[in-house]
Each structure stands twice: as structure tokens, then as C-alpha cells.
Amino acid sequence: MQITKDMTIGTVIAKWPQLAEIFFDFGMGCVGCPHAASETIEMGALKHGIESDELDDLLEKLNGIIGVRFHI
């Protein structure tokens, strides 16, 4: 399973709790926020000023940690 920008932050953290640190590294402290349950990774990234190139980097890093190759 590949992590995509359309997945909610809450879903990703529930499945792979070890990825919380990566979100923090990208300035997204919203992992524990109530909005994380319904907010997509893309929505959270936009709210934290993360541009599309950096969003691609975030997704690549997340997928790399869970062992999935990310294709842009």
C-alpha cells in the first residue's frame, strides 16, 4: 500500500505510528490534532505552508520508511 496525499493523516498514523516523527520533521505537528482524523496529508501540508515539491518529498520519505517506492 502506498501513502498518497489524499490519505488522512490519522489513517496513516494509525497504521504506521512510527511515521509521526516524519510529519514533525516537516513542521506538521498536527499528528495529534483532532483535525488529523479527517484532514488529508495534502490539506495539512497546505495549512503548514508546505509547497508541492516539499509535499512530494514528504510522501517519498513516508513511503520509503514503510518500504514502498513512491512514483510522482
3-state helix, strand, coil in the chain (%, to 5): 60, 5, 35
- Per residue in 15-68, pLDDT (tens digit) is 999 999 999 999 998 777 888 889 999 999 999 999 999 999 999 999 999 987
Using DSSP, state whether 15 is helix, strand or coil.
helix
Give pTM, 2 decimals: 0.87
